[in-house]
Amino acid sequence: MSIFDKINSWTDQTVGNIPQKTRKQKIRLYTEGLKAKITQVNFALERLSEFDNKTDDTTTSTGQDAFKITDRVHFYSDTFWTFLYSSLDVLAQIVNQTMNFGFDEKHVSFDQVNSKLQGNNYCLTSIAKRFKDCANSKVFKNLDRYRNCSTHRRQIYIEEETKQVKGTAGYESSSTGPVITVVRTLCDNPLGLNPKTDQKRKIPDYMVKTRKKILRHIEQVLKETKAVK
């Protein structure tokens, strides 16, 4: 079952236990928003995959005003981190409505709802544990750093390495000419001014793993989110 099917199943089951029409509408609205954010994340990753072995030095752009591949990589990288983190804020909106916390929708965030859940009234509940697990996870902390950098500071440092492999003529080979390999690596700490890439966080491989882990946290939170009348 896909993440979208799980969200739909949870929504249908949950709204049936809520008597207020407005709350039902808001929950459905935000679950659709959550699916939209995940779709945007998937689209960003799909586009990044298209640039795997392309670089401005080896690819000719079409059109005088065409954006450089480097610019596109940075754009979709920023998009990925922004929308993936945003999916957690939308998740918080879902929890706010489902558990009837009453927070003003304009100010709801993942951190705010997590703080509420870690309070005395909810700290021993299963959903509080799921939120805490996510907030304390390495993947969330890294996501927060990359999102903070791309949204509020500057472009994330990306190291690009290009290699050209060419074999001796006359031999059977899967390629007829030089093969260009492009490897892009995210810096370990986007908030630092002296970037390092010791962790070898390759684009898009590292981002694919990040998405998988965050979506797992989202699934676990939804599973423990029960309607309060």
pLDDT tens-digit readout, 6-26? 999 999 999 988 999 999 999
Contacts of 87 (CB under 8 A, 6+ apart): 34, 37, 38, 41, 214, 218
d(CA 207, CA 209): 5
Cross-strand partners of 163: 181
Average pLDDT over residues 161-175: 72
- Which one-letter amino acid corresponds to residue 79? T
> Phi, psi (5° rounding) for residue 161?
-125, 125
**Which element (helix H / strand E) includes 13?**
helix 3-15
Report pLDDT for 96: 97
Contacts of 119 (CB under 8 A, 6+ apart): none
The pTM of the full predicted model, rounded to 2 decimals, is: 0.91
Contacts of 30 (CB under 8 A, 6+ apart): 90, 93, 94, 97
Q: Are 84 and 130 in contact (CB under 8 A)?
A: no
Please calculate the CA angle 69-72-77 and round it to the nearest 5 degrees.
Answer: 125
Q: Quick one: which of 202, 210, 196 has its CA closest to 84?
A: 210
pLDDT digits (tens, 9 = 90+) for 77-127: 999 999 999 999 999 999 999 999 999 999 999 999 999 999 999 999 999
Query: How many other CB atoms sit within 10 Å of the CB of residue 191?
Result: 13
Average pLDDT over residues 53-77: 80
Q: Quick one: which of 215, 210, 214 has its CA closest to 199?
A: 210
d(CA 193, CA 146): 14
Report pLDDT for 62: 61
- Sheet containing 158-165: give its strands across: 158-165, 179-186, 201-203
Cross-strand partners of 15: none
Radius of gyration of the chain (CA): 21
Give the pLDDT band (50/70/90) at residue 54. confident
Q: Are 222 and 7 in contact (CB under 8 A)?
A: yes
